[in-house]
Structure 1
Amino acid sequence: MTALFAHITIQLRRLLRDPGFWAPTILFPAMFYSFFGASMSPDGLYSQFSIA
């Protein structure tokens, strides 16, 4: 369990040192969903066209 905690800690530090990678990876999908996905109606009308 100690090795797992050490590995997680090292990976999080590595991600924090490289914001050029994780910021677009996390922020772009969130912005994309907030612009397009959240505005769609919940009745499922748009879900018919998303797999065209």
Structure 2
Amino acid sequence: MAQTKKIALYMVIVFVLYTIITSPDRAADLVQIGFEGISSAAKGVGAFMTALVS
């Protein structure tokens, strides 16, 4: 089982590197979208916590 996880992790890393090398503009767009999603989620949690305290 551990060997399977290790192989899957290596495959994901190779895929990410391949994507970055072959299409850096698209990879940058995906990273930006990911960070915007994380930021939006953090703002939502902050608003929720503020509403609980108020």
TM-score w.r.t. length of structure 2 = 0.43
Give the TM-score normalised by the residue count of structure 1: 0.44
Which is helix-richer, 1 or 2? Answer: 2
